[in-house]
Chains A and B, each alone.
Chain A
Amino acid sequence: MKEIRSRNPFTRSLPYILLVVLSLPIILGYLWILVSTFSTRCYGLIPVDQQGNYFKGLTLSNWAFLYDKSKTLNASIWLLTLNTLIIAIGLTVGVVLVSMMAGYALSRIKFPGRKSFLSLTLILHSFPSVTLLIAIYFVLRWIASVPVIGRGIPLIGGFGYNTLGGVILVSIALQLPLGIWLMKGFFDNVSWDLERAALIDGCSRWRTWWQIMVPQIKPGIAALSIFSFMEGWKSFLIPYSFMTSQTKATLSTLLNEMLSETSPVNYGTLAAVGLYQLIPVLVFYIFTQKYLLNIFAGGVKGTA
């Protein structure tokens, strides 16, 4: 878009001033995290030491949580990182795979009820899924009682209540309407000559899908993967609601616990753990913005 050209320096800088003022809370907020991470205590944006002297008390000790369990309410930060990673990766793989399958069928195959299924995904896309949390608890409890699948799987524990797998499953489901819708859109844009050739050659639908079609929508897969990974990495409400033990939960739930009520944690450590969780997201974000903008434009679930 064309810039507005004006000779008057004030008029020219006006939009920038306005933007900075509007963005101030964001700027100050992230600045606060950065400063308090490296200070003993913090008065506003100014680091102070134990006695309250200004501009003193810069320290790295807030990062001791990386090796000192007692700083994080005795939860092992590495175990929690691993858990968070498992959830993020599980969610990513699950959402991408399931959405690719459904998206392909919806885009390319004619079957009874196709239109209603599409409408359904759209409705679900806007559906207030958080209101279902209470009921989802009942479903997870039921899954938990199914042998093996419920709670007999190594690494993710199973798919029932109070397992990483359960959290992943719920997260996948809630993310699915967006994923399906997005994948269908990408498949829609693939030229069908390619696919027709494959089908005429006698390829099965599955082979066509996997060998011909999927490679065509790599940008879409990348976008959905990145998005899902970030959602999984930051997920709070679902693990918070469906995991019982802190040692099985995620970085977000640990932070919430450290932030809330009577936890004897100084907020320097709190900020440091926060930054620790934020860094991967930021790095990811900086390098993959273009893909992400793609998906946000495709319609992200609300404000939550």
Chain B
Amino acid sequence: MKKLALLLALLVIPALIFAGGKQEAAKQAGPRTVTITVWARANNVEHWRADAAVEAAKLLNEELKKEGKQITVVVKADYSNPPWGDYKKKFTMAADAGEGPDIICSGHEDVPVWAQAGYIMPLANSVSEIQGMYPEFKDVFDSLWNAGMWHGKIWAVPQDTEARPMFFSKTKLKELGWSDKQIAELPDKIKNGEFTLDDMINTAKEAIAKGVVKPGYGYWHRPRKGGDFLQYYVSYGGYLYDPEQDKLVLVKDALEKWYAFQRKCVTSGITPKNYIGTEWKIWHDTVSHNKVLFWNGGIWQWADWKVNYLNGDEDFLFKNVGYALQPSGIRGKKGNTLSHPLVYMVTTEKASGHKDRDLVIRLLAKMTTKEINTKHAVESTHLGILKSQMDYKPYKDSKFLSDVTYMLNYNWYQPNHSGYSVWFDIVWNGMTAAENGEKTPKEAVESVVKQLKLELGDSIIIK
């Protein structure tokens, strides 16, 4: 009997609590607080990606007060710095469980996947429509809206953008016998396609032969998986996407040349053997202390080096480090760089479990101001996204940012296509196999083509 009573109690109590919870939710009139959660992937110098919302909420609350609305917006800003895959997994699972944040900051390439799954909501049907929504949105560079475009709708608000330069050691080039003028001209030469990837390999080889840098320290690419490598695919004339047909593309010839380039870096001794997979911390420590001749990275790493590896000594960087576009593989073809704009997406009611989507978008507009965005841009060395920023003093004062802004004229984006993740993984695996010499570039290309056809079927064009 006792047990039965206990069981009954166990069943009844939760029901009571549940009923109580419902009642509370029912009374909604009067003053209310709206909690808006923002997730961003950021390290300690990029925290404004999330904290921008906290600042913006202050502005928004003032406005709401003026309008006489009894709504207070409270922002929960959460940022962490796991690998992208982990971060996206967290979001996918949370959104699917109806536990997602209201605003998610991620790469623009997530738009098609998450839109298709119903996690994020479309914001507008055209660039002009979104520009008309809030004055802040009008200030955003038109071209950046395209990064958040998918199937004719705009799904995302730009957060920042960047360029991925080829860094080089000015002091090491000088030791090699280059004149100051030659060094200063290098970025232009790369831009115009006069200094190619082959030239880079030869220069690095020479530097090693003359003992300017240690063997294997001539050229360091990104040590881990990332879109950066595709810059060389593009350097050899490759492209990723056919917007007309909305299909992914693989250019076999460019792919093979790119794979051959990666392999040549190793065989010519400018990149260490089995180099892919080097610890990031070791990589940062090495390149920021001026031990490598050429290395490809991203402009945001500048802030990371300065703050986390050089105790704030930016002068050391300016003295030693130069930056240019990624050299072309074909003489005369312009240099290029990959931009990977991060964007804010607004989750659906279902994915977040919250209403008040209008308020969320309004908060986003308040986050898109030159004051707030510039804090992020300068502190984390990312490029701005607003027209007004270009004349805004705190932004202009950053020498590094001014130096690299021109690169945006030579940039390209990864495609917004739901099969891109599969495309990328396969191409990446092919590259590592080629670079490590497990397959010849040709074999690697063949294997890649086979897999792409198998896994992507109709959505891939092989050229």
A touches B in complex, CB < 8 A: yes
Interface residue? A126 (CB, 8 A) = no
User: What per-residue 1/0 map shows which CB atoms of B28-54 lie under 8 Å from chain A?
Assistant: 000000000000000111010000000
Among candidates B47, B78, B83, B97, residue contacting A162 with C-beta atoms closer than 8 Å: B97
> Is the C-beta of A74 less than 8 angstroms from some C-beta in chain B?
yes
Q: In this assembly, does B177 line the interface, its C-beta being within 8 Å of a C-beta of chain A?
A: no
What residues of chain A lie closer than 8 Å to B99, measured between beta carbons? 144, 161-162, 244
Q: Does the CB pair B44–A73 fall under 8 Å? A: yes
- The yes or no answer to B66 lying at the interface (CB within 8 A) is no
The answer to whether the Cβ of A131 comes within 8 Å of any Cβ in the partner chain is no
Residues of chain A lying within 8 A (CB to CB) of residue B457: none
> Which of A149, A160, A245 has the most chain B CB atoms inside 10 A of its CB?
A245
Question: For residue A299, which residues in chain B have a CB less than 8 angstroms away from its CB?
Answer: none
A137 CB-CB contact with B under 8 Å: yes
- A141 near B97 (CB under 8 angstroms)? yes
Chain B interface: which of A5-13, A178-186, A260-268, A282-290? Answer: A260-268
Asked if A75 CB lies within 8 Å of chain B CBs, one says: yes
Q: Are A148 and B80 in contact (CB under 8 A)?
A: no
Closest partner residue, chain B, to A206 (CB atom): B3
Query: How far apart sit A160 and B97, CA to CA, in the bound complex (Å)?
Result: 10
Chain A, residues 65-78, CB within 8 Å of chain B (1/0): the string is 00000100111000
The reply to whether the CB of A147 lies closer than 8 angstroms to some CB of chain B is yes
Chain B residues lying within 8 Å of A260, measured Cβ to Cβ, are 82-83
Q: Are B21 and A152 in contact (CB under 8 A)?
A: yes
A148 engages B44 (CB within 8 Å): no
State whether A148 touches B14 (Cβ < 8 A): yes
| Cα separation A144 to B99 with both chains bound (whole Å) | 10
Q: Which of A152, A244, A263 contacts B81 (CB 8 A)?
A: A263
Interface of chain B residues 292 through 333 with chain A (CB within 8 A): 304, 307-308, 311
Contact A264 B78 (CB under 8 A): no
Q: How far is the CB of B276 from chain A (nearest CB, A)?
A: 14
Alpha-carbon separation in the docked complex, A230 to B81 (Å): 27
> What CA separation (Å) do A244 and B81 show in the bound complex?
13
Q: Tell which of B281, B307, B308 has the most Cβ of chain A within 10 Å.
A: B281
User: Judging by beta carbons under 8 Å apart, are A148 and B17 in contact?
Assistant: yes
Q: Is the CB of B94 within 8 A of A162?
A: yes
Pick the contact of B280 from A137, A144, A240, A262 — CB < 8 Å?
Answer: A262
Interface centre among A75, A244, A245, by most B CB within 10 Å? A244
B44→A245 contact, CB < 8 A: no
Quick one: which of A147, A161, A264 has the most chain B CB within 10 A?
Answer: A264
- In the complex, per-residue mask of A136-158: 1 if CB is within 8 Å of any chain B CB, else 0: 01000100100111001000000
Q: How far is the CB of B463 from the nearest CB of chain A, in Å?
A: 33
Is the CB–CB distance between A245 and B96 below 8 Å? no
The proximity string for B residues 77-93 relative to A, scoring 1 for CB distances below 8 Å and 0 otherwise, is 01111110010001101
The residue of chain B having its C-beta at the shortest distance from the C-beta of A151 within the complex is: B99
Q: Is the CB of B80 within 8 A of A264?
A: no
What's the minimum C-beta distance from B232 to chain A, rounded to whole angstroms?
21
| Cβ A73 vs Cβ B96 within 8 A | no
In this complex, the member of B91, B93, B224 whose beta carbon has the largest number of chain A beta carbons within 10 angstroms is: B93
Min Cβ gap B208→A in Å is: 22
A245 touches B90 (CB 8 A): yes
CA distance A257 to B44 in the complex (A): 13
Chain A positions within 8 Å of B94 at CB level: 162, 244
Cα distance A160–B18 when bound, in Å? Answer: 16
Cα–Cα distance between A59 and B162 once the two chains are bound (Å): 37
Nearest-CB distance from B205 to chain A (Å)?
27
B284: nearest chain-A partner, CB-CB: A264
Asked if B44 and A246 sit within 8 Å, CB to CB, the answer is no
Q: Is A211 an interface residue (CB 8 A)?
A: no
- Judged by a CB distance under 8 angstroms, whether A53 is at the interface is no
In the bound complex, residues from chain B placing their C-beta under 8 Å from that of A148 are: 14, 17-18
- Provide the bound-state CA to CA distance between A242 and B97, in Å: 11
The answer to whether B43 touches A262, judged by C-beta atoms less than 8 angstroms apart, is yes
Question: In the complex, which residues of chain B have a beta carbon less than 8 angstroms from the beta carbon of A262?
Answer: 43, 81, 280, 304
| A61 part of interface (Cβ distance < 8 Å) | no
Encode contact with A along B271-297: 1 for CB under 8 Å, 0 otherwise.
000000000110010000000000000
Q: Which B71-123 residues have C-beta < 8 A from chain A?
A: 78-83, 86, 90-91, 93-94, 96-97, 99
B82 & A257 in contact (Cβ 8 Å cutoff): yes
A247 is an interface residue with CB less than 8 A from chain B? yes
B308 touches A264 (CB 8 A): yes
Query: Does B90 lie within 8 Å of A244, measured CB to CB?
Result: yes
CA of A149 to CA of B11, assembled, Å? 11
Q: Considering the chains assembled together, what is the distance between the CA atoms of A73 and B86 in angstroms?
A: 15
The distance in angstroms between the C-alpha atoms of A152 and B307, with both chains bound, is: 42
- Distance of B39 from chain A, by nearest CB (Å): 8
Complex Cα–Cα for A260 and B224 (A): 11
Assess whether A264 is in contact with B97, with CB atoms less than 8 Å apart. Answer: no
Choose from A73, A137, A147, A247 the contact partner of B43 (Cβ within 8 Å). Answer: A73
Structural contact, B93 and A162, CB atoms closer than 8 A: yes
Q: Is the CB of A75 within 8 A of B14?
A: no
How far, in whole Å, are A206 and B321 apart by their CA atoms in the complex?
75
A261 touches B93 (CB 8 A): no
Mask of A216-246 contacts with B, CB within 8 angstroms, 1/0: 0000000000000000000000001010111
Q: With A and B bound together, what is the CA distance between A266 and B90 in angstroms? A: 25
Smallest Cβ-Cβ distance to B305: which chain A residue: A264
B309 nearest CB neighbor, chain A only: A264
Counting chain A CB atoms within 10 Å of each CB, the highest count among B43, B78, B81 belongs to: B81
Q: How far is the CB of A205 from chain B (nearest CB, A)?
A: 12
Among B17, B45, B78, B224, which residue has its beta carbon within 8 angstroms of that of A261? Answer: B224
Shortest Cβ distance from A162 into B: residue: B99
Which residues of B are found within 8 Å of A75, using beta-carbon distances?
A: 80
- CA separation between A211 and B377, bound complex, in Å? 67
Q: How far is the CB of B360 from chain A (nearest CB, A)?
A: 19
Across the A-B interface, the 3 shortest Cβ-Cβ residue pairs: A264-B308, A246-B80, A244-B90
Give 10 A-B pairs besides A245-B78, A246-B82 with Cβ atoms closer than 8 angstroms: A73-B80, A137-B93, A149-B14, A152-B14, A162-B99, A257-B80, A261-B81, A262-B81, A264-B81, A266-B308
The 26 listed contacts between A and B (C-beta, < 8 Å) are A73-B43, A73-B44, A73-B81, A74-B44, A137-B93, A144-B97, A147-B14, A148-B14, A152-B18, A160-B97, A161-B93, A161-B99, A162-B93, A246-B82, A257-B81, A257-B82, A257-B86, A260-B82, A261-B83, A261-B280, A262-B81, A262-B280, A263-B280, A264-B44, A264-B45, A266-B281
